[in-house]
Structure 1
Amino acid sequence: MTSRLNRPMTASRRALLAGLTLSLGVLPLAACGGGSDDEGSATDAQFTKDVSGELGVWGFNNADDVGKARLASAQQQLGSVKITLDETGFDSQKFTTRAASKTLPDVVQMDRQYVATYAAQDLIVPLDQCFSLYGVDPSSYWYPAVVKDVSYKGKVWAAPQFFQPSAVMLNTRVLDQAGLTAADIDTSRPDALVATAKKLTVTQGGNPTRIGFDPVAGGQAPGWLLGFGGQVMDDNGVPTLDNPNNAKALAFLKQLYDAQGGYAKVKSFSDAFDTFGKNNQFVKDQVGAQMDAQWYVNVLSPYTKQLQISATPYKDQQGQPLSISGGTSFVIPAGAKNMNAACAYVVDLTNEASWMAAAEARAATLAGKPGSINTGLFTGSPSVDKTLREKFVKPSGNKGFDETIATFYDVLGSAKSQGSSPAGQAIQSELQNAISAVLLGQKAPEQALADAQGAAKRAYDQFGG
């Protein structure tokens, strides 16, 4: 590891980060010693297989059976390396504060939307040479969209893990009662979908007691934009929130919510769902259909006798399946004290051996729960997903659940990345502001997105874009 990685930050970089702290409440940054503007930076990182010593890791808060099995597997592969684990949840302010004081551990787990931001500031190191050292080709080992999430200026800056695709989960009991089928829940036919949602919606006293189609506009926003031919950012990470097709997507979402009682009432109702409990919205027939990520199938699996579900792909306006990649990743901070062990660790955590150990642990857990359904692990790697599905995901005897599981596997191949940007978090924050303003009727889609674009572009420029 070269000493240049620990050089103090120049005055210009400190001024830049100070400005960002004022302008980006979503991702406050402190001035950090991670590189310099003229020579020597985190891109100088080199790795070898000389692995020993101690390793600090920040991540795996509230690890379940899958996480614990992967940790144990990686430790076994690292041999005598002593690992100290900080299991607190990731926090952007804490990350930059610790970077400034040079107290970051050797490996940090974070959402992939943070990666380009820290890469642009030389706070983390690129991992291309690390992957090459261990024979990992990111372009073939992970889904292309997943790799794009953690790429910036031609380099890969993190080891991605998980890809939770989205699809439309169907409450077939509600659909059957209304004489409808999965074919009637078609996101590529906006007008028909609005009519179907209105037919399935039930209100009492002007308030919804059932949402016909819950688009989850906030959490699923990038998918709706791309589905209408829009774009969150371009290939260089420049925000493109004022793309005309984005306005079409938001106009549709407002029309959809208005047909079901209005965004404020729908949001208030859905916020009260017992989402993770036995009285969840599918058990209680509070939705006819809903956009959901794959992990939610696991939440519903204990309640197979109380609900009837299936799923259908989310489709773009050309009728093609679409899913937006998302998930977490492992980065190596620029000031890491044990670069070699950190490199080996992020490779070991995301290789097939660790995922196999995780799948076996999950199968053992489910074996102790009669009637449980193995919904699979969605790792971010197509080869690993295929191996684990073939070995562990078997017909459950519940036709609807099996259809749901199969749908989420089917849409993996249609994954797209919303992009990678040094202002990624600011872009997401401004997009959410625009969505709220439109759905609440405070601004027209074009105006809301123009305002969001202006703020996001300023953030991008401040980040050195």
Structure 2
Amino acid sequence: MRTSASRTGSGPGRMGRIGSGAAAAVAMTLLLTACGGGAGGEDAAADVDFAAEPTGELRGWGFENTDDVGQARLDHAAGELGDVTIELDQTAFDAQKFTTLAVSGDMPDVVQIDRQFVPTYAAQGLLMPLDACFTAHEVDAAERWYPHVLADVTWEDQVWAVPQFYQPPVILTNARVMEEAGVDAGALDLSDPDAFIAAAEAMTVMDGSSVSRVGFDPQGVSKAAQWMLAFGGGVVDESGAPTLDRPENLEAVEFLQQLYEAQGGFSEVSGVIDSIDIFGDGNGYANDLVGAAVFDQWYLNVLTPYADDVEIGAVPMTTTDGSPFTATGGSAFVIPAGAQNPSAACAWALDLTSGDAWIAAADARAATTEEEEDRNGINTGLFTGSPESDQEIRAEYASAEGYPGFEEAIGVYYDVAAEGASLGASPAGQQIRGELENAMTSALVGERSPEEALAQAQQAAMSAYDQVSEQ
């Protein structure tokens, strides 16, 4: 394989950063209004011989700023696909550009996107289902990936993407703050919500009416769907229809509302959190600006240069019965319905996510850990989306010798990965997420009651879902 653009993107432990935001909202509106639903992707896949020997030119898009992990996997795939010439677009995925390419008919062969986009594009007939791709390459999807990771890219009983990465969120604790406040990390357990709130309040420091230290940052807006799952709710049902106003979801919002109020209020807490330089010297753990917070696994890598300045630990989030719990998130490779070389795209995506590819990536990360002094010899492992690869990498590579807090956190992230849940797949997933975030902000700042905010969000989300379903 010859790659004309060798630099492909990755953030912390990822091959690429996924673009969204306002452009995504605009693009999705265009998609809903300009593209009718249909079986375009299924029809295109039916004509593909996925078992054919990969040859020719392959165009990929959605890659940006390669790191050691991404480059190692690309090099591995290069060795497996010697007769394929790959042209990589180094820019990050953009939903509006994707829609434009779909309309123009100039789609690349494989695109790296956030998994939350997959059901939306699948429902619009813009992606090929990949079950035949897996069968042709003798890949058992249920064995290769965690079931909740696979659920992210499953729509109407078909799999529409090749998943990669899985960053389980857990509660990352600050041992210094907890000790000072007389709080045990075991109190951060939803089976006793009153004790949870009391622990957060005890760790909070007020300077008059202002918050100078946040006891617990739940990321109540961005992680709202996960909190709802923890309370037994969820944002969509099995058909993908929104369920934002479920009683369990209301219970979750009311808990978060009380949690913020115990720490000085949502606006005050958000102001402190927004002012923290989480990626630099001003991070909340080195400067004791936070007692505990919900963070995805990648944040451990951010803290490794500060290993001598922080005293971290970790506990899993729990459900209301106290069971360990987390939620999925990550990216995936999709093959657009208009792909010109789908058989090569299938082989390439599977090679990039194979066990051998992940071991090559783990070798590269181990070398980087040894070479870069600011990592302090800490290797937090890789979270691939594949349980077999995760456990092999954990056993052979993950290490934080001399830093027991990091060792504890690494173990918690790995242990909880199997306890994950999918946030749910819906053709209106982006709209539902947007309405949920708006509702959470409205409720937490006190503009509307939780009941009113969720009811309004449900109405708007259902309207978007109905619009998609009718096409």
Instruction: State the match for 1:234 in structure 2.
Output: 237
SS in structure 2 at match of 1:29: helix
Shift, 1:32, TM fit: 6.9
2:65 is aligned to: 62
Number of the residue aligned with 1:29? 30
The answer to whether residue 304 in structure 2 is matched with residue 301 in structure 1 is yes
Check conservation: 2:285, 2:310, Cα contact below 8 A: yes
1:306-321 superposed matches below 5 A:
306-321=309-324
Letter in 2 for 1:463: V
Q: Deviations over 1:144-187 (max 9, x none)?
A: 00000000001000000001001101000111112222122223
The question of whether the paired residues in 1 share the 8 Å contact of 2:239 and 2:426 is answered with yes
In the alignment, the residues of structure 2 paired with residue 322 and residue 37 of structure 1 have an alpha-carbon distance, to the nearest angstrom, of 36
Shift of 1:36: 5.1
Partner of 1:44: 46
* 1:388-407 equivalences in 2 (<5 Å): 388-407=393-412
Say which is worse superposed, 394-403 or 282-291, in terms of deviation. Answer: 394-403
2:107 aligned residue: 104
Indicate the SS of the match to 2:324: coil
1:58 is displaced (CA, Å) by: 0.4
2:90 counterpart residue number: 87
Q: Does 1:131 find its partner at 2:134?
A: yes
1:202 to 201, 205, 210: 205
Asked if the contact 1:34/1:42 (under 8 Å) is kept, the reply is no
Cα distance between partner residues in 1 of 2:274 and 2:46:
47
Alignment-derived partner of residue 17 in structure 1 = none
CA distance in 2, matches of 1:61, 1:227: 34
1:460 to 445, 451, 465: 465
Residue 394 of structure 1 deviates from its aligned partner by 3.0
Measure, in 2, the Cα distance between the counterparts of 1:383 and 1:146: 14
Q: Shift in Å at residue 50 of structure 1?
A: 2.3
Q: Which residue of 2 aligns with 1:262?
A: 265
Q: Quote the residue 2:414 is aligned against.
A: 409
1:361 is aligned to: 364
- What amino acid sits opposite 1:429 in the alignment? G
Name the SS for the 2:337 alignment partner.
coil
Whether contact under 8 Å (1:102, 1:335) holds in the other structure is yes
* Structure 1 residues 335-374: aligned runs within 5 Å: 335-370=338-373, 371-374=376-379
Amino acid at match of 1:70: R
Distance between the aligned counterparts of 1:235 and 1:306, measured in 2? 46
**Aligned position for 2:439:** 434
Secondary structure of the residue aligned to 1:323 is strand
Q: Is the 8 A contact 1:352 1:384 kept in 2?
A: yes
Instruction: Answer yes or no: is the 8 Å Cα contact 2:60–2:88 preserved in 1.
Output: yes
Shift of 1:188: 2.7
Q: Residues of 2 paired with 1:91 and 1:59: CA distance?
A: 8
Aligned equivalent of 2:187, options 184, 188, 194: 184
CA contact (8 A) 2:237 2:243 kept: yes
The equivalent of 2:279 in structure 1 is 276
Partner of 1:8: none
1: CA distance, partners of 2:40 / 2:109: 25
Segments of structure 1 that go 5 or more residues without pairing to the other structure are: 1-20
Tell me which amino acid in the other structure corresponds to 2:389. Answer: V
Please tell me the residue identity of whatever aligns with 2:427. Answer: P
Moved more, 223-232 or 179-188: 179-188
Map Cα deviations across residues 83-130 of structure 1 (whole Å, 9 max, x no partner): 011111111111010111011110000000100000001101000000
Partners of 2:27 and 2:199 lie apart in 1 by: 37
1:322 aligns with 2:325: yes
For the structure 1 residues 77 and 274, does the alpha-carbon distance in structure 2 shift closer, same or farther, using more than 3 Å as the test? Answer: same
- Taking the aligned partners of 1:329 and 1:160, their CA distance within structure 2 comes to 4
| Secondary structure of 1:108's aligned partner | strand
Secondary structure class of the residue paired with 2:469: coil
AA in 2 matched with 1:376: G
Percent same amino acid among aligned pairs?
A: 48
Q: 1:434 to 1:79 in 2, by over 3 A?
A: same
Shift of residue 322, structure 1, vs aligned partner: 0.8
On the 8 A contact 2:190/2:196 being kept in 1, the answer is: yes
Equivalent residue for 1:250, pick from 244, 250, 253: 253
2:46 maps to a residue whose letter is D
2 CA distance for matches of 1:39 and 1:373? 44
CA RMSD of aligned residues (A): 2.0
> Closer, same or farther in 2 for the Cα pair 1:296/1:38, shift >3 Å?
closer
Contact 2:41/2:122 (<8 A) preserved: no
Instruction: State the one-letter code of the partner of 1:48.
Output: A
Shift of 1:369: 2.4
C-alpha offsets along residues 216-275 of structure 1, whole Å, 9 cap, x if unaligned? 112211110011111110111111111011011001101111111111111111011110
Amino acid at match of 2:463: R
Residues 284, 262 of structure 1: alpha-carbon distance in 2 compared, 3 angstrom cutoff: same
